[in-house]
């Protein structure tokens, strides 16, 4: 029926182009036709955008009165800018584009998607646009081809009303019938050329007398090369014969002929119909649609149907075989109608009973408290409700699993409910995983404290007047880099975790503690005064000070700030706490550094009395050698301190290697050699010892290049390293803890022999000079 209506409209359009049109229509009739038309129509000045005329349908759609709408511009309802709207109107005036999609804002503020067909028209030399508006808000959600085709057919139906309205405007502006005819013909051409379909008209000799732009584009030609020619002159013989075949059917039957043509991998639907040209002479009108997408979609639907049937068969098999999904069906009296093996096994495992058809499910559950809850859910489904529940079911003497239940009624043909179905899945494990994920979302995985994301949300939630005064403590853990560099990240993680525990012990139950960086913590203290916040801060410092992991003692720099007035910025309070923390960190840096070094050496010396004596002896000898070399006081201080700290890297050695007197296995010796690098890392962490770190690194290098760790030779070795090497060798051979103790004279002789080999000759000379002066 839609095709017939569309065909009749086209016939009238074509026919109107080949017959004189004279109208003696009363102006009020045209105006009535325009005003009462159910389609949304407006006449718009293409230069100013003013809405010159609007019918009642346009007013109703936009929620304005006609008078209000005719006092507005199109930009008042179109969400495009004035420049964008002007460009669209000019495109329509020059037929660059006559179909647009816009978003219109109605008087009540509602936004609606509309499709606009604008036809240009001259009225008193002014460019006017006759716009036909469609509400496509719902269509936007639909992609079905028949919806789009229906809209096109409706557009064709409205064509007659448009034509009448154009005649009305032209008639009112001019009494000349020639101008009226010209306007009508121009409107017809604009409308047909705006169509994406191929539209043409042939005479009784099958020669083209009209073709629209889409037709010209398809044949890649223009109208002047088409008019007066037949298909054999325009296309291949094979294609032309196919077209002529349907042309002959139309002429012979005087009826509509619909055909489907496949050409160059595209599918076209041709609708041809007879057009009476003059008396008994008939031509052929046609419009051709590219239905490739529709055809492919139909094929896809058929394939999907086949796949769906296969899937249904597969699903039936899966549902029966899967152990995850439990399925059962009950009748109105709660008796089993059907169930899969998974449900049967579950009921046996939970309740210890085998279920059978026609058995009431309540016989299985017995008098357990779950029976009342289950009955309520069954009754909801029997009342016509489909729903999902997540609940615990099972014997309370065991861990009760959590089930996700999908209930739905089953209907008879008459619409009455006679059974219910239920799909159940044991989601106990999933619930636990979700809880874990939820916990991880807001918690730091290492310490279990809250993370940055939670802290940011919580600080906004707590920033209310009832929580004033609102205090914040910002903390930064010292010595984390030392722990990581010396012992590795496992030790660093242990330091962080123990620090977090110390902070938790120091805070109140309602305080919110978050780890917001590698070594940074924030504590939120709602409803806490500055004085009370100071108490918390001092407890934290005390508790963290008790933490020690291996040789690394923990300490923390803290800053505090309090929000007093509701108008104060909580972010400013947080920033102030952070700044105070950095101030505290800068003032305690030197002390912390020396405390850490002292802590490491104390532990090393507690574990090895030999190392304690060795450190002091080497330091004394180094200082004397520096004096003999006539070094400056600052250089003497560096040499002395480097001698004292040169073996600090031995803190990483276990007691067996540390206290071994030279009987090390190969792998133990390799471990012991690492103390030079570790010592360098420790001393290089701090400004106070950075200038002596190279002494710890180089003191086992040799003048001939056979030392370690780098194999440096001669002056490539730092002066600190060369001095410590001689001093350490002397103490090693003369120390009471040595396993091969010799006299100082023998030690001097050994060192002299190694001058130019292991040791710097200049340093050896200075050392000998020191010893001789001491003896003298």
Q: What percent of the chain has pLDDT over 70?
A: 85
**Closest by Cα among 349, 462, 476 to 403:** 349
Which tokens belong to 190? 């604009």
Residue 760's pLDDT is 97
63-77 mean pLDDT: 91
Report the range of poorest mean pLDDT among 118-127, 299-308, 567-576, 725-734. Answer: 118-127
Residue 27's pLDDT is 44
Residue 159's pLDDT is 44
- The answer to whether residues 169 and 43 touch, using CB atoms and an 8 Å cutoff, is yes
Which pTM value belongs to this model? Answer: 0.52
638-649: b (≥16 Cβ within 10 Å) or e: bbbbbbbbbbbb
742-768 mean pLDDT: 95
Q: Which helix (H) or strand (E) holds 27?
A: helix 27-36
Give residue 595's region: left, alpha or beta (phi > 0; psi -120 to 50).
alpha
Residue 24 has pLDDT above 50, yes or no: no
Sequence-ordered list of residues with C-beta below 8 angstroms from that of 17, at least 6 positions apart, any chain: 185, 188, 210
Cα separation, 560 vs 474, whole angstroms: 6
**Closest by Cα among 196, 200, 230 to 13:** 200
Range list of β-strands (E), 355-415: 387-392, 402-411
Per residue, the 3-state secondary structure of 572-622, as one string, reads: HHHHHHHHHHHHHHHHHHHHHHHHHHHHHHHHHHHHCHHHHHHHHHHHHHH
Residue 219's pLDDT is 79
- The answer to whether residues 536 and 473 touch, using CB atoms and an 8 Å cutoff, is yes
pLDDT band, residue 162 (cuts 50/70/90): very low
621-643 mean pLDDT: 96
- The answer to whether residues 343 and 393 touch, using CB atoms and an 8 Å cutoff, is no
722-746 mean pLDDT: 90
pLDDT band, residue 31 (cuts 50/70/90): low
Residue 50's pLDDT is 92
Report strand pairing: 208-211 vs 99-105: unpaired
The chain-wide mean pLDDT, for the chain, equals 85
Cα separation, 162 vs 184, whole angstroms: 10
Residue 126 has pLDDT above 90, yes or no: no
Residue 198's pLDDT is 83
pLDDT digits (tens, 9 = 90+) for 654-701: 999 998 877 889 999 999 999 999 999 999 999 999 999 999 999 999
pLDDT band, residue 181 (cuts 50/70/90): very low
Per residue, the 3-state secondary structure of 518-556, as one string, reads: CCEEEEEECCCCHHHHHHHHHHHHHHHHCCEECCEECEE
Report the range of poorest mean pLDDT among 124-138, 307-321, 575-589. Answer: 307-321
708-717: b (≥16 Cβ within 10 Å) or e: eeeebeeeeb
pLDDT digits (tens, 9 = 90+) for 296-346: 888 888 888 888 777 767 766 766 666 688 899 999 999 999 888 889 988
Residue 223 has pLDDT above 60, yes or no: yes
- The answer to whether residues 696 and 686 touch, using CB atoms and an 8 Å cutoff, is no
Residue 117's pLDDT is 83
Bridge partners of residue 284, in order along the sequence? 202, 274
Report the range of poorest mean pLDDT among 248-257, 631-640, 702-711. Answer: 248-257
pLDDT band, residue 79 (cuts 50/70/90): confident
| Number of continuous H segments (helices) and E segments (strands) in the chain | 29, 21
Residue 155's pLDDT is 44
- The answer to whether residues 622 and 639 touch, using CB atoms and an 8 Å cutoff, is yes
82-109 mean pLDDT: 85
Q: Higher model confidence: residue 767 or residue 92?
A: 767
- The answer to whether residues 381 and 375 touch, using CB atoms and an 8 Å cutoff, is no
Length of the chain: 776
pLDDT band, residue 633 (cuts 50/70/90): very high
Q: Which helix (H) or strand (E) holds 317?
A: helix 292-321
Q: Higher model confidence: residue 35 or residue 25?
A: 35
Residue 25 has pLDDT above 70, yes or no: no
Exposed, middle or buried, 568 (CB in 10 Å: 0-12/13-18/19+)?
middle
**What secondary structure letter does DSSP report for 413?**
T
pLDDT band, residue 609 (cuts 50/70/90): very high
Residue 8's pLDDT is 34
């Amino acid at each position: 029926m839609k095709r017939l209506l569309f065909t009749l409209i086209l016939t009238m359009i074509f026919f109107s182009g080949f017959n004189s049109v004279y109208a003696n229509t009363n102006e009020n009739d045209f105006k009535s036709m325009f005003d009462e038309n159910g389609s949304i129509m407006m006449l718009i000045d293409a230069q100013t955008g003013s809405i010159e005329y609007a019918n009642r349908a346009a007013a109703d759609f936009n929620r304005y009165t006609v008078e209000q709408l005719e006092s507005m511009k199109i930009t008042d309802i179109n969400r495009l800018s004035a420049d964008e709207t002007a460009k669209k109107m000019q495109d329509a005036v020059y037929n660059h584009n006559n179909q647009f999609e816009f978003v219109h804002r109605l008087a009540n503020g509602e936004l609606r998607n509309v499709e606009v067909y604008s036809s240009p028209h001259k009225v008193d030399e002014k460019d006017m646009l006759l716009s036909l508006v469609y509400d496509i808000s719902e269509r936007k959600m639909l992609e079905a081809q028949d919806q789009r085709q229906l809209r096109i057919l409706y557009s064709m139906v409205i064509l007659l009303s448009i034509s009448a309205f154009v005649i009305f405007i032209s008639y009112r502006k001019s009494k000349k019938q020639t101008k009226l005819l010209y306007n009508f013909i121009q409107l017809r051409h604009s409308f047909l050329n705006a169509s994406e379909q191929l539209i043409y008209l042939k005479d009784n000799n099958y020669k083209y007398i009209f073709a629209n732009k889409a037709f010209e584009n398809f044949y890649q030609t223009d109208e002047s090369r088409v008019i007066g020619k037949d298909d054999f002159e325009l296309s291949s013989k094979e294609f032309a014969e196919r077209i002529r075949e349907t042309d002959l059917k139309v002429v012979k039957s005087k009826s509509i002929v619909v055909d489907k043509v496949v050409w160059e991998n595209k599918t076209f639907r041709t609708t041809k119909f007879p057009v009476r040209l003059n008396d008994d002479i008939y031509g052929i009108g046609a419009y051709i649609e590219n239905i490739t997408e529709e055809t492919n979609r139909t094929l896809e639907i058929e394939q999907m149907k086949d796949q769906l049937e296969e899937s249904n068969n597969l699903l039936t098999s899966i549902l029966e075989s899967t152990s995850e999904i439990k399925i059962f069906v009950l009748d109105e009296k709660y008796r089993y109608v059907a169930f899969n093996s998974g449900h049967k096994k579950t009921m046996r495992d939970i309740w210890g009973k085998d279920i059978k058809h026609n058995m009431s499910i309540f016989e299985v559950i017995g008098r357990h408290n779950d029976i009342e809850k289950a009955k309520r859910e069954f009754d909801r489904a029997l009342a016509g409700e489909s729903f999902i529940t997540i609940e615990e079911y099972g014997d309370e003497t065991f861990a009760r699993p959590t089930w996700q239940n999908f209930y739905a009624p089953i209907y008879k043909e008459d619409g009455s409910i006679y059974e219910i179905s239920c799909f159940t899945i044991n989601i106990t494990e999933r619930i636990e995983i979700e809880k874990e994920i939820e916990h991880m979302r807001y918690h730091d995985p290492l310490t279990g404290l809250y993370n940055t994301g939670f802290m940011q949300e919580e600080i906004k939630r707590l920033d209310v007047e009832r929580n004033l005064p609102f205090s914040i403590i910002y903390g930064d853990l010292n010595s984390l880099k030392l722990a990581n560099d010396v012992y590795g990240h496992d030790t660093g993680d242990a330091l962080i975790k123990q620090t977090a525990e110390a902070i938790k012990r120091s805070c109140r139950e309602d305080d919110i503690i978050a780890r917001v960086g590698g070594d940074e913590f924030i504590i939120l203290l709602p409803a806490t005064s500055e004085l009370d916040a100071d108490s918390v801060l001092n407890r934290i410092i005390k508790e963290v000070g008790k933490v020690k992991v291996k040789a690394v003692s923990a300490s923390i720099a803290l800053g505090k700030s309090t929000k007093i007035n509701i108008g104060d910025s909580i972010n400013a309070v947080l920033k102030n706490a952070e700044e105070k923390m950095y101030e505290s960190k800068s003032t305690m840096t030197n002390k912390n550094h020396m405390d850490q070094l002292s802590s490491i050496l104390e532990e090393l010396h507690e574990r090895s009395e030999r190392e304690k004596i060795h450190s002091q002896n080497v330091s004394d000898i180094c200082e004397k050698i520096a004096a003999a070399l006539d070094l400056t006081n600052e250089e003497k201080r560096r040499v002395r301190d480097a001698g004292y700290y040169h073996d600090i890297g031995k803190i990483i050695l276990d007691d067996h290697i540390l206290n071994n007197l030279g009987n090390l296995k190969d792998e133990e010796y390799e471990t012991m050699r690492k103390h030079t690098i570790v010592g360098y890392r420790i001393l290089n962490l701090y400004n106070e010892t950075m200038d002596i770190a190279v002494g710890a690194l180089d003191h086992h290098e040799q003048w001939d290049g056979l030392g370690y760790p780098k194999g440096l030779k001669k002056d490539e070795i730092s002066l600190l390293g060369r001095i410590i090497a001689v001093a350490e060798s002397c103490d090693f051979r003369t120390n009471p803890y040595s396993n091969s103790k010799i006299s100082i004279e023998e030690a001097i002789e050994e060192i002299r022999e190694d001058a130019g080999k292991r040791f710097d000759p200049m340093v050896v000379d200075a050392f000998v000079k020191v010893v001789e002066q001491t003896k003298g």
